[in-house]
């Protein structure tokens, strides 16, 4: 089984949108792909959540319940939404739920909440950042970044942080990319040169497909090394 973790340089950068396009592309190749997200806030119905959106757009066959472990109503950071509801993420459950999805699929895409430093639980006796889940599951990361102004700084900071935590980066995907804009082309080149990480795909604004730049989409996935 191969898996990858999709994170972003910021909240609302397009992680869910890009995740749906990745899964959709793999489904079109007749590959057995599953999706999983540990926690979503700002919704009270899985079908209407980010996870439900990915399932519907990609045409995934897995059940809605298997897409997600924790759903919070308030549109807040997961740690604060969990505190309000007094229902906290448990890493054992996240691991079990992820591996249940993994047992039924050849490829698994796991989507993060917010950016990589997003706090999932932040109480006096228990602190979990998104990076702790990535490390727990031994997943490599694909970063979703915007193609526009400011992305060089944001993407470089994200790459630097991941590298400082010894988390493998399998590539970057630039969202809202316009191949006719000189700035977007330059941003892509600068990001690759500064970070020594490939931009593996671009996504035009509201595009229905990814535009791959290197290899195949399945190349962005790496084998999980331990369970």
Q: Mind listing the pLDDT tens digit for each residue in 45-54?
A: 999 999 999 9
Of the candidates 2, 24, 37, 55, the residue annotated as catalytic is 37
E-strand spans in 42-106? Answer: 68-72
170 marked as binding residue: no
> Annotated binding residue at 64?
no
Among candidate residues 167, 224, 225, 226, the one with its CA nearest the CA of residue 197: 167
Q: DSSP code of 124?
A: T
For residue 97 the two structure tokens come to 């739920």
What are the mean pLDDT values of the chain's consecutive 10-residue runs (227 residues total)? 92 94 93 96 93 96 96 95 96 97 95 94 96 95 97 98 96 96 98 96 93 75 47
Q: Do 2 and 218 touch, CB atoms closer than 8 A?
A: yes
* pLDDT score of 217: 72
User: Would the CA dihedral through 68, 76, 129, 167 be positive or negative?
Assistant: positive
Q: Which pLDDT does position 207 carry in this prediction?
A: 94
CA distance 179 to 192: 16
pTM: 0.94
pLDDT at 174: 97
69 is annotated as contributing to ligand binding: no
- Matching residue, tokens 């700002």: 42
Query: Residue 114: what pLDDT?
Result: 87
Q: Which residue has the tokens 């020594």?
A: 196
Q: List the one residue out of 48, 26, 25, 46 whose CA is nearest residue 36.
A: 46
* Model pLDDT, residue 224: 43
User: pLDDT for 30-39, tens place per residue?
Assistant: 999 999 999 9
Fold of 2-221: Rossmann fold (3.40.50)
Answer yes or no: is 34 a known binding residue.
no
Strands (E), the chain: 2-8, 33-41, 68-72, 107-115, 119-123, 126-129, 141-146, 169-175, 199-203, 211-212, 222-223
Check the annotation: does 90 bind a ligand.
Answer: no
Residue 37 among the catalytic residues: yes
Q: Where are the domains of the chain?
A: 2-221
């Amino acid at each position: 089984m191969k898996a990858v973790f999709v994170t972003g340089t910021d909240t609302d950068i397009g992680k869910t949108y890009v995740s749906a396009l990745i899964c959709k592309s793999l489904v079109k190749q007749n590959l057995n792909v599953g999706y999983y997200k540990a926690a979503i806030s700002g919704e009270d119905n899985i079908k209407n959540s980010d996870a439900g959106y990915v399932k519907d757009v990609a045409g995934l066959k897995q059940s809605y319940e298997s897409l997600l472990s924790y759903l919070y109503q308030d549109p807040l950071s997961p740690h604060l939404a969990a505190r309000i509801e007094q229902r906290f993420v448990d890493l054992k459950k996240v691991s079990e739920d992820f591996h249940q999805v993994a047992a039924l699929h050849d490829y698994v895409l796991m989507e993060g909440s917010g950016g990589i430093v997003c706090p999932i639980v932040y109480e006096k006796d228990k602190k979990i950042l998104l990076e702790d889940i990535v490390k727990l599951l031994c997943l490599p990361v694909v970063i979703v970044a915007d193609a526009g102004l400011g992305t060089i700084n944001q993407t470089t900071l994200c790459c630097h942080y991941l590298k400082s935590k010894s988390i493998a980066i399998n590539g970057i995907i630039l969202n809202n990319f316009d191949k006719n804009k000189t700035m977007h082309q330059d941003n892509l080149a600068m990001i690759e040169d500064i970070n020594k990480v490939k931009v593996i795909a671009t996504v035009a604004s509201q595009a229905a497909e990814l535009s791959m730049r290197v290899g195949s989409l399945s190349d962005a996935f790496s084998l999980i090394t331990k369970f």
